[in-house]
Amino acid sequence: MHLRKGSLHDAARIAALVNSAYRGDSSRHGWTTEADFIDGQRTDTSEIEEILSADNQCILLAERNEEIIGCVHLEKRDANVCYFGMFVVKPELQAQGLGKRLIMEAERFASHRLACTIMQMHVISIRNELIAWYERRGYRRTDERRPFPYGNERFGIPLRDDLEFIVFVKELKVN
């Protein structure tokens, strides 16, 4: 697995990978699917282009044989906080340790390249298996909750009315 920062040239492939891992039948090949409670897309090419064009954001790509097999969105939000999102491993390659490796690299990048001491993420509150996975990697729940973006079809079409995000954080080691 090779890691690199994504470029505008990668935007369509990144959007396709993210959507395949979170939504629709293809996402059911992995354990990170949201297809049972959110329909539609997770992102689109224009959102990915916005992220890749921003000075304070990037998408790290995991590649194997020039195929994008994973990604993670990092956004420096203030002096020491890095937001971590859009974390994806290609569904048929999940549960092989690639996610663990990618999250470690994302944390290292946030610490060393962005000089952040805290990684922050938002996880949909009903994702118990995913929450447990992040907790095993040192992320802890905060008391903070964020509303789900109901009405924003760019993020998807919720199939339930009880969705919200829990904010998680992890302290990073800065060398």
Question: In the 3-class helix/strand/coil scheme, how is the chain assigned residue by residue?
Answer: CEEEECCHHHHHHHHHHHHHHHCHHHHCCCCCCCCCCEECCCCCHHHHHHHHHCCCEEEEEEEECCEEEEEEEEEECCCCEEEEEEEEECHHHCCCCHHHHHHHHHHHHHHHCCCCCEEEEEEECCCHHHHHHHHHCCCEEEEEEEECCCCCCCCCEECCCCCEEEEEEEECCCC
Is 121 a residue whose pLDDT tops 90? Answer: yes
Mean pLDDT of 30-41: 87
Mean pLDDT of 3-23: 95
Give the confidence band of 172 by pLDDT, cuts at 50, 70, 90: very high
What residues does each domain of the chain span?
Answer: 2-171
- Using CA atoms, how far residue 172 sits from 9, 126, 165, in Å, is 31, 26, 22
Mean pLDDT of 78-89: 94
Better pLDDT: 78 or 123: 123
Q: What is the CATH number of domain 2-171?
A: 3.40.630.30
Better pLDDT: 61 or 78: 61
Is 7 a residue whose pLDDT tops 90? Answer: yes
* Confidence (pLDDT) at 74: 98
Mean pLDDT of 51-78: 96
Contact between 124 and 148 (Cβ < 8 Å): yes
* Confidence (pLDDT) at 175: 60
Is 173 a residue whose pLDDT tops 90? Answer: no
Q: How does the average pLDDT of the chain come out, rounded?
A: 93
